[in-house]
Each structure stands twice: as C-alpha cells, then as structure tokens.
Amino acid sequence: MSTPSPAPPARLVSLDAFRGMTIALMILVNNPGDWTNVYWPFLHAPWHGWTPTDLVFPFFLFIVGAAIPFSRRGTAGQALRRGAVLFGLGLFIAAYPAFDVTTLRIPGVLQRIAVCYVAAWLLHRAGRPWVEATVASGLLAGYWFLMTRVTVPGGVPPNLEPETNLGAWIDRALMDGHLWRQSKTWDPEGVLSTLPAIATTLLGVLTGRWVKRDAPSPTMRAAVLMAAGLVLTVAGLAWGRTFPINKSLWTPSYVLLTAGLAAYFFAALYWIADVRGHGRWARPFVIYGVNAILVFVASGLIAKTLVRIEIPTASGPTPLPLWLCRTVFGTWLPPTAASLAYAVTNVAVWFAVLRALDRRGIHWKV
C-alpha cells in the first residue's frame, strides 16, 4: 500500500492541517517519557469532565466526517474495505507483540474510526443533509434515553458509573475477556458509546457539506460555521450540567462540546489558510495530516516495542523510553518537563520521517 501517490485533486489545506495537528497531538499525549510525571492537560479526565487531551479523538472523528464530502465518490464495497482495513489494523496493534487471541482487546481507536467512517459514508451516500442531521439527533437522544432511563439487567438502576452503567454491562456481555486491560470490566471504545461517536462523525459530514457549498461566499461560510460551533459548544456545556461531559461514555454533552470546538477551530483554519490564502505556516501539519494513519499505526507499534526493551540500572530493569527520558532530559529538566520533552522529541522525529516520505510523494492510503 505504500506507493508513490498520483497527483491528488485540489484539497483543503485547512482540513489536512487540522488532521495533522490532531494526529500530532495524539502522538504527543500517547508517548510521554514517564507516565508518572505528566502535565494535567496531557492526561484524560479521570471520569466526568474534560481536558485538552479529551478533544483529540472526537476531533479526529469530526475530521473523518468532514473529509467524506470532499473525497472521491466510490462504491459501498470500497468503503467497507477501508473500514475493514482500519478495523484490522486496530486489532493488529492490540495483538502486537504477543498475538494472544484469548485476551485480545476487540474495541479500540482504529476500530471505532472504522465503524464510524462506514456508517457516516453510507448515510452521506443517501445524499440528504437532513437525513444525517436526523440520524445524529436520534443517536444522541436514544443514547441519553438508554443510559438514563433503562434499568441495567440485574435490577441495577440507570447510572453513569464506570462498571455498572448499561454500556459496561453490554461490553461484558458481548466481549468479556476482550476489553480494555486497565479496567477489564468496561471499555472506553465500547459498543453502546459508539452510537454517539457516529453522531460526532455525522456532524463532521454536515460541516464538510457546508464548506463545500458554492454559496454563500467562503467568508460567510466560515462565519456561519464559527457561529454554529459556538452554539454547539454552549449547548454541550449546558447539557453537561445534567448529563455530564464524559469521554469514556462519549456522552451527548461531550459530543456537542467537542463538535462545537472542532467546528469553530476548523472554521478559523479554513478562513486563514483557504479563504485568505495564508497556508504556508501550516505545511508541517499538512505533512502530518496526509499520512495520519501511517504515523498512528507505526508510532503505536514502535512504542509497544521500545517499552519491552529494558536497560539495567541501579534501581532495576528500566524500560527504554523511561531510561532515555531520565538520561537525555532528566539530567537538566524537572521530571515532568523531561517527560514532556521526550514526547515532543517523539513528535519531531516522526515529522522528520513523514517529511522524507512526503518529499518522495509517498502517502499511505487505506
């Protein structure tokens, strides 16, 4: 699949840059030098609430949706093939390096992207924005009803606690033994919470449709998108007072908040880079954006490899990333700053790799 790409069609600099910024931040937060020393913005909220890190995944799903109206129209079979490849890559990352199918985690980031992409593509193929908007609204309302009004089997009242909510029960019923290893009883990319994640993607599709329109003017399209982003953000914050913002549950308030912020940020990038034509500054992010899946997969596999390499030290065997963090950065920086410096270096090294590939016209497509 890694072959020189043909000349691509005209595309939005802002969309590629937004994708690149998002994947670069994803690489940053996934690869600290020392997990015990991380600044709070680069960690997920423990449960309810949100941090900047909690924006990364929904931003990426929003971008997946926004790109659909701009992509070449293909067949349903091609969309399903892309989804299957993404899902398979997610399973491969989860299995590597032990490849123990008895404990293989079935849900995951790429797996959720695959499902959301296919669902959004098929709905977009129907060709009507009102269909996408209606389905997105129905998914959010239906998820709210299931999580807050339906009794969990076993007589447990509706709740939003990690192990006793309806989504966690469904995950255990369908995939017990194949869930997130940190919990083993629920999964942040579980079955039920994928429904509102599809809504996130559909809001991206609607955004892409709006930006692609011939009228009104590009400046007006950016302004309306900013206004819509503000409305969604405020709605998410307001709903969060009764149905908490929660990334692991992918609550509807979280969907509205993150989609609103994504729309506002994308509108700003669109106006600066595509409407005003000031896009040269975004080139490093575009380089990340056109090879987003490649760097996500490769960085994940290499990170899992490096952590298994142990260096003998006075305090015992130390994983290579932690040893490098302490040896290269920890001698002149405080522990938390050293951990961040390692993560930033990781992002910079991957940029060098992606820049070399881009110069050769190599863009990894799924």
118, pLDDT greater than 70: yes
Contact 34, 229 (CB under 8 A): no
Q: Which two tokens stand for residue 259?
A: 């989609």
Whether 325 shows a pLDDT value over 90: the answer reads: yes
pLDDT at 135: 96
Residue with tokens 């729309």: 263
Q: Any residues with CB less than 8 A from the CB of 113 and at least 6 apart, and which?
A: 60, 61, 64, 86, 90
> Using CA atoms, how far apart are residues 116 and 29, in angstroms rounded to an integer?
23
What's the pTM value of the predicted model, to 2 decimals?
0.94
pLDDT higher than 80, residue 8: no
Tell me the pLDDT band of 10, cut-offs 50, 70 and 90: low
Per cent of the chain over pLDDT 70 is 97
pLDDT digit string, tens, across residues 214-261: 889 999 999 999 999 999 999 999 999 999 999 999 999 999 999 999
The pLDDT of 336-352, averaged and rounded, is 97
Q: At a CB cut-off of 8 Å and minimum separation 6, what does 177 contact? A: 102, 103
How do residues 40-80 score in pLDDT, each as one tens digit?
A: 999 999 999 999 999 999 999 999 999 999 987 788 899 99
What is the distance between the alpha carbons of residues 365 and 2, in angstroms, rounded to a whole number?
8
Cβ count near 133 (within 10 Å): 15
Q: Could you tell me which residues are beta bridge partners of residue 49?
A: 246
Report how far residue 325's alpha carbon sits from residue 5's, in angstroms, rounded to the nearest whole number.
37
**pLDDT tens-digit series, residues 349-360:** 999 999 999 999
| Residues 177-198: tens digit of each pLDDT | 999 988 889 999 999 999 999 9
At 37, the pLDDT band (50, 70, 90 cuts) reads very high
List Cα–Cα distances, 243 to 32, 52, 105, 106, in angstroms. Answer: 32, 20, 28, 28
Strand partners, 310: 319
| For residue 199, pLDDT beyond 90 | yes
Q: pLDDT-derived band of residue 2, with 50, 70 and 90 as boundaries?
A: very low
Residues 6+ apart with CB under 8 A from 9: 72
**Residues contacting 279, CB < 8 A, separation 6+:** 13, 14, 17, 272, 273
Burial 282-312 (b: 16+ CB within 10 A, else e): bebbbbbbbbbbbbbbbbbeeeeebeeeeee
Give the C-alpha separation, 343 to 339, whole Å.
Answer: 7
Helix (H) or strand (E) holding 247: none
Q: How far apart are CA 294 and CA 284, in angstroms?
A: 16
108: pLDDT strictly greater than 50: yes
Beta bridge partners of residue 304, listed in sequence order: none
pLDDT at residue 343 greater than cutoff 90: yes
Q: H helices within the chain, ranges in order?
A: 13-30, 56-67, 76-95, 109-125, 129-149, 166-175, 194-212, 218-239, 252-269, 283-289, 292-306, 320-324, 335-359
